[in-house]
A and B are shown apart, each in its own frame.
Chain A
């Protein structure tokens, strides 16, 4: 079926058949999602048998819209963003047929929430330096170590994990990639309270956690390559969507400006307009990039977008606190809460200022983004590396 209209017609028919059999209003969400998965209408671009029909990726929004119009339940995309955005494509790329069957259906149905055990106190930007150890014990691996900045770990049943399986090899070569059961008694999740007062992330302590070798994704020692599949998907899921003009933090700041005419000065006015222009320029650069990669995979240029959005968000949120003057001295709430996601819109200016500080760190720091642009877009030489051909155990840490 190569005719795009015929493909759409076929999908429309399949959605209608599923809806006829499972009335979204009368079916519990998990049952509905399992049925949608089994019908190949979950990720329609995935192969048949694992939630898809092997059709073009660009048809996914079309199918999602059909379900949305029919009032179909959501599968918890906000809480399970890591599962849907990062774990699933990695399992698809590297999982065995058994692993795909075991993990993808409950992941899609929102029955199992996933988190990502990657960063460590000693390995953030230098992810290949992780020291969490996995030691072979018969058919299992025994894992010990500490992870950090783990979103939704306190709600997750499963995790993707990068661990060191061979300290005698160089740091990139001695890693393996696993699926970790977060309900294992050796997994200790502790809230990590942040600069904003809330605990959006966690620390995760792994003590003698037993992972069957059957839960390894990819070959032993191939963990770095598998992790890069995850990270590439992370970048795709970050800067992909079009944003309306004057949205996000700029929208918050312009509202504050319009509602506080008594606080206006010519100096603040010019700064506001500079920020408006910068934000609009970044927004248009995003539009241009999307037009350039339409159909293809975004490349290292997406790092440029992340750089400007982090900078602009930080400048905007700082400006807003300053504009508010006396009111900017007051904070809305220092009580520790554990939100599922970042809530820029529901909190006050002071929160936005503090939380935006994370925009230049999370998902790759601005410094790493600049290296990526300089080396992979502009083709400048890479940094001199002293750790490349040395066994990980011999590195100075």
Chain B
């Protein structure tokens, strides 16, 4: 536990945040995000291109010598916080964070294509998977062709390439296979801003991108960094919910008064503020610990994932309630955040799962050791 990990933005991070926010303010209108629920995914394409090309963020976590921007988990956390604030329907978490991290363990030209944004990838696993045991493996036939089925995959619909776990006698390999070579059935998802797909692979050609010896650790690190940085997205969701609700309650009048002056509501917003400040601190600490290679990174990740998952849901549920009737409407964007928050709570391990991981890390076991 390092007191010197900065939990605020550096100057570079402040500039990065401003750039991402400015782009999203301009091009990620909530009304446009809403179209995702009608199956219209044009906003994703319209946003992902400038994020990868103008801001150069696709390869943020990829080192410069492999074609990326050489950024750290801290900067990725800033990007995710802003993406969460806008419920932006882009595959940054699935491609630039999780898939990129898995690929870093191998030596393929794919990572270079990912870094420039010419190619987008997704891990072939249910979005709820928290451990490598929960990642289904594909079978490989005598010709090296892959088969299998994986459900509820996030980022697959936006991807050109899927990264699949393949069991071999030597261990778990990671293969890349073209999304065009598999059957991707879009799923009606709780959160259509990060839509899921069921993937059927039927004798599709794949190529090894991470060798057997390195496969399992690579998948493990990919899931861990995903969980750690998802906490920043969750903090961003909670921040939008609090800011928007406060702003609304400052203008909404009932009983001849501005509703935000009622103590019953003020106290709930104050509690939410306390939770949000804590969520931001845990999320930045996790990102900072990973960036610094701090030995506390595992504890920091478990704390952030356990804390922020529940706080984002609480903030979104409070936002719906405190907006009153308008909070229940389709036109008003708060439901986008509730759906994103609830899906994120399950994504990459539930808070209960991360608490159970924490128990082992901090020597608080259940029962006798």
Contacting pair B261 A370 (CB below 8 A): no
Partner of B282, one of A258, A280, A379, A383: A280
Binary per-residue interface labels of chain B (15-28) against chain A in the complex, 1 for a CB within 8 Å, 0 otherwise: 00000000000000
B54 touches A (CB below 8 Å): no
Binary per-residue interface labels of chain A (289-320) against chain B in the complex, 1 for a CB within 8 Å, 0 otherwise: 10110000000010010011000000000000
Which residues does chain B contribute within 8 Å of A43, judged by CB atoms? none
CA distance A374 to B366 in the complex (A): 39
Contacting pair B273 A284 (CB below 8 A): no
Contacting pair B274 A307 (CB below 8 A): yes
Nearest chain A residue, comparing its CB with the CB of B281: A284
Contacting pair A269 B359 (CB below 8 A): yes
B7 touches A (CB below 8 Å): yes
Binary per-residue interface labels of chain B (335-364) against chain A in the complex, 1 for a CB within 8 Å, 0 otherwise: 000000000000000001001101100111
Nearest chain A residue, comparing its CB with the CB of B258: A381
Contacting pair A277 B263 (CB below 8 A): no
B311 CB, min distance to chain A CBs, angstroms: 9
Which residues does chain A contribute within 8 Å of B278, judged by CB atoms? 278, 281-282, 284-285, 308
Contacting pair B261 A261 (CB below 8 A): no
Contacting pair A304 B274 (CB below 8 A): yes
B143 touches A (CB below 8 Å): no
Partner of A380, one of B261, B279, B355: B261
A20 touches B (CB below 8 Å): no
Total contacts A-B at CB 8 Å: 128
What class of interface size applies to chain A in its complex with B? Answer: 35 or more
A175 CB, min distance to chain B CBs, angstroms: 25
Which residues does chain B contribute within 8 Å of A276, judged by CB atoms? 358, 362, 364
Which residues does chain B contribute within 8 Å of A380, judged by CB atoms? 246, 249-250, 260-261, 266, 269
Partner of B366, one of A264, A301, A369, A382: A264
Contacting pair A291 B6 (CB below 8 A): yes
A269 CB, min distance to chain B CBs, angstroms: 4
Which residues does chain A contribute within 8 Å of B352, judged by CB atoms? 270
B264 CB, min distance to chain A CBs, angstroms: 11
A50 CB, min distance to chain B CBs, angstroms: 33
If A245-B1, A270-B355, A285-B281 touch, whether A373 touches B273 (CB-CB below 8 Å) is: yes
CA distance A328 to B8 in the complex (A): 42
Which residues does chain A contribute within 8 Å of B356, judged by CB atoms? 273
CA distance A254 to B363 in the complex (A): 9
B11 touches A (CB below 8 Å): no
CA distance A212 to B274 in the complex (A): 45
What class of interface size applies to chain B in its complex with A? Answer: 35 or more
A130 touches B (CB below 8 Å): no
B270 touches A (CB below 8 Å): yes
Which residues does chain B contribute within 8 Å of A244, judged by CB atoms? 1
Contacting pair B261 A291 (CB below 8 A): no
A341 touches B (CB below 8 Å): no
B284 touches A (CB below 8 Å): yes
Which residues does chain B contribute within 8 Å of A264, judged by CB atoms? 366-367
Contacting pair B273 A378 (CB below 8 A): yes
A299 CB, min distance to chain B CBs, angstroms: 13
Which residues does chain B contribute within 8 Å of A242, judged by CB atoms? 3
A38 CB, min distance to chain B CBs, angstroms: 36
Contacting pair A381 B261 (CB below 8 A): yes
A288 touches B (CB below 8 Å): yes
Contacting pair A370 B271 (CB below 8 A): yes
Which residues does chain B contribute within 8 Å of A291, judged by CB atoms? 6-8
Interface core residue of B274, B280, B359 (most chain A CB under 10 Å): B274
Enumerate 19 A-B pairs (CB-CB under 8 Å) in ascending A order.
A258-B363, A261-B367, A273-B355, A276-B364, A280-B282, A281-B279, A284-B281, A288-B7, A288-B280, A291-B6, A291-B7, A369-B270, A371-B267, A371-B270, A373-B273, A373-B274, A377-B273, A379-B250, A381-B260
Residues in A lying within 8 Å of B, measured CB to CB: 242, 244-246, 254, 257-258, 261, 264, 266, 269-270, 272-274, 276-278, 280-282, 284-285, 287-289, 291-292, 301, 304, 307-308, 367, 369-371, 373-375, 377-384
